[in-house]
Chain A
Amino acid sequence: MALKKELSYSEAAVLAVQREMEADARVVVLGEDVGRGGIFGQYKGLQQTFGAERVIDTPISEAAIMGAGVGMALAGLRPVVEMRVVDFALCGMDELVNQAAKNRFMFGGQGRVPLVARMPGGIWDASAAQHSQSLEAWFAHLPGVVVVSPSTPQDNYGLLRAALQCGDPVVYIEHKTLWGLRGDVDEDIAVPLGQAARVREGNALTLVSWSRQMQVCAAACEALAAEGIAVDLIDLRTLWPWDRETVLSSCARTGRLLVVHEAVQAAGFGAEIAASAAEATGCRVARLGAPRIPVGYAPMLEAQSRIGTQAVVAAAKKLID
């Protein structure tokens, strides 16, 4: 029975968690302010439905939230661990990096840590250096975790359900400015982890991005199309494992790859994709990310960290020339 409705990115996330909590009594939510629905509404109504024992308000204790999530998972629960913003997840970094990600391996497979750590990322308007970071490359570098970054309500619904079913620790990065984005959500569409979406087809170049930057890239593709340049636009959706097959087959066909991300360009995840594509296909590669600066507060300072449509168009044209 197809249930299709228009939902916001945050409502889609609520629905995903609700469906998993209905299906599996082991799923619990823990984090700061989750009882009130989360600071972005991404848990709205869940405590009223499932009670305070399954949607657990916590003290401001990121290390304990993440660490308790590890202990809960080892003891048979499937926790959703809310970190508020990716910037604050750093307060629980040992618990993620040294505990959650390592547990299964270092104990020889005795334990499993099926937790989903939600940590909204990206520039949040006028929120400055400690509430606007894009740190996905840190987590993609970490053996033992899956890294997901959805760009649409449909994907947020499907990928969050897939993350909760996957059984490994998942770093789940929603974008802080996408919460109000609306779109159709079909509950019957499953979005598997590790599978990219081909959003536009074209032969002039391959453009890979994810999360909010997909909107910028889509606008850039429109502008390029107006000039007769047809772009193969790929939404990576999952950063680890990333969909090599979709990306590399596109690169082999177009001969050119541009990776665009909101994160700082230096040592960003775009470098991984670009290097892989160059190694595998010999295609021309280029990256476009933010300068290596903290995100500033004043509008003209914050703008220095943003990658706009014109910059994407210019980078694409330079690659084609």
Chain B
Amino acid sequence: MDSSIPGRAGEALYRVMVRIRAFENAAETASQGGVSAFGQQAAGAAKVRGPLHLSTGQEAVPAGVCAHLRTSDYLTSTHRGHGHTLAKGADLTRMMCELFGKATGFNGGKGGSMHIADFSVGMLGANGVVAAGLPIAVGAAHAQKLLKKGDDITVCFFGDGAINRGPFLEALNWARVYELPVLFVCEDNRWSATTASGPMTAGDGASARAASMDIAATQVDGNDVFAVHETAARLVGEVRVGGGPRLLHALTYRVKGHVSVDLAAYRDPAELAAALETDPIARARGHLLSTGIAAATLDAIENAARDEVDTALAVADAAPWPDASAAFTDVQTIGAGQWH
């Protein structure tokens, strides 16, 4: 761990992780039995419907990486994108509204969890297709280079499952060939849906494949937010000054199942137990305490996150549904609407 991180920056990283965890815990509850405001159980259908992919246990990666990004930097994400979106600076309440399918969500209820996006902070979208964000990211980075947008960069999150799809290889080659300002971040959580990634993957994974294409790759303990923060600082800096693409290979773990209703019974309980020993939030808390930050300070951060999420649940609950006619808007300008 990097003990050189000053207290305030450390607290900021902690705050990001805690907000992601609180948000996803609430979303998970809301997806399972339905909640109304303030966590009370409510009868009836779940408030968050459809597939909900949780990033519980992986919070250190978006927190550590996005700490170095500006609003004008672009970000593409995966189907497990709540953490990336919050870490990039998106509004938590509007995100909850989108998960509830409400008109006040980022996408007006048209996208939900799998398509969470906030273009106003440069977050170009989660994606329901594994590896699909990689070519989009190199395109955005290519545009940044052509439009000479200062030293803005694009960051592309993807999972270890994505490296076995063609678009991963095509995008990495593309980024290197055109020397684009893009940072690839592999969140290696060891699972591809409900199949372990290791037996499905030849060779040594994301960083080895990047190295084969002459893209400098760095492995990092993805459950150590300070290590992620420090490594990402270097890589983001190298990309910003025109050094071409870089890859950060963050080793983490998917604590939950593939989707919220998946209890991951296919997994060896010992594997989960071992992973929980390295929970990134608990580790960060321990480290911050050891540097002299008061427990009360960290408690306050956690309480504030819970309060914020409770408020978001209440707002999302009370928010209006989209008008049914919205199903016919934002399709296309020419040839939309009146046709069956």
Contacts and interface: CB of A to CB of B under 8 A. Distances in A.
A183 interface: no
Contacts of A53: 146
A240 B339 CA distance: 10
Among the interface residues A64, A73, A145, A166, which one has the most CB atoms of the partner chain B within 10 A? A64
B125 A107 contact: yes
A58 B134 CA distance: 16
Nearest to B107: A108
Interface string A49-93: 000011000110101101111111111110100000000000000
A76 B143 contact: yes
A109 B108 contact: yes
A37 to B, nearest CB: 21
Contacts of A76: 143, 147
A70 B146 contact: no
A64 B137 CA distance: 10
B322 to A, nearest CB: 9
B219 interface: no
Interface string B323-335: 0000001111111
B240 interface: no
B140 A72 contact: yes
Interface in B110-147: 110-111, 115, 117-120, 124-125, 127-129, 132, 134-144, 146-147
Interface string B224-241: 000000000000000000
A106 B177 CA distance: 31
A241 interface: yes
Given A59-B174, A75-B143, A77-B146, A107 B110 contact: yes
Contact of B110 (A28, A108, A145): A108
A154 B278 CA distance: 66
A218 interface: no
B129 A94 contact: yes
Given A74-B139, A108-B107, A99 B331 contact: no
Nearest to B165: A63
Nearest to A59: B173
A111 B115 CA distance: 12
A144 interface: yes
B74 interface: yes
B140 A71 contact: yes
A104 interface: yes
A115 to B, nearest CB: 10
B147 A75 contact: yes
Contacts of B14: none
Interface string A204-234: 0000000000000000000000000000000
Interface residues of A, number: 46
B150 interface: no
Interface in B69-119: 74, 76, 105-111, 115, 117-119
A146 B142 CA distance: 25
Among the interface residues B106, B136, B177, B329, which one has the most CB atoms of the partner chain A within 10 A? B136
Interface string B162-177: 0000110011011001
Given A59-B174, A108-B108, A71 B334 contact: no
A53 B178 CA distance: 10
A16 interface: no
Given A59-B177, A71-B143, A107-B125, A241 B334 contact: yes
Given A70-B136, A71-B137, A71-B140, A166 B330 contact: no
Nearest to B127: A99
Given A59-B174, A71-B142, A106 B129 contact: no
B305 to A, nearest CB: 26
A229 to B, nearest CB: 33
B164 to A, nearest CB: 14
Interface string A124-148: 0000000000000000000111100
Contact of B141 (A71, A110, A241): A71
Contacts of A193: 334-335
B82 to A, nearest CB: 15
A194 B139 contact: no
A105 B106 CA distance: 12
B174 A68 contact: yes
A203 interface: no
A103 interface: yes
Contacts of B124: 71, 74, 111
Contacts of B329: 109
Interface in A246-271: none
A193 B167 CA distance: 32
Nearest to A61: B170
Contacts of B330: 104-105, 108-109
24 contacts: A53-B146, A63-B170, A64-B171, A67-B132, A67-B134, A67-B139, A67-B171, A68-B142, A71-B137, A71-B142, A94-B132, A105-B330, A106-B110, A106-B125, A107-B107, A107-B119, A108-B105, A111-B124, A144-B332, A145-B332, A146-B334, A166-B333, A167-B333, A194-B335
Interface of A: 28, 53-54, 58-59, 61, 63-64, 66-77, 79, 94-95, 98-99, 103-111, 143-146, 166-169, 193-194, 240-241
List 4 tightest A-B contacts by C-beta distance, closest first. A71-B139, A67-B135, A241-B335, A108-B107
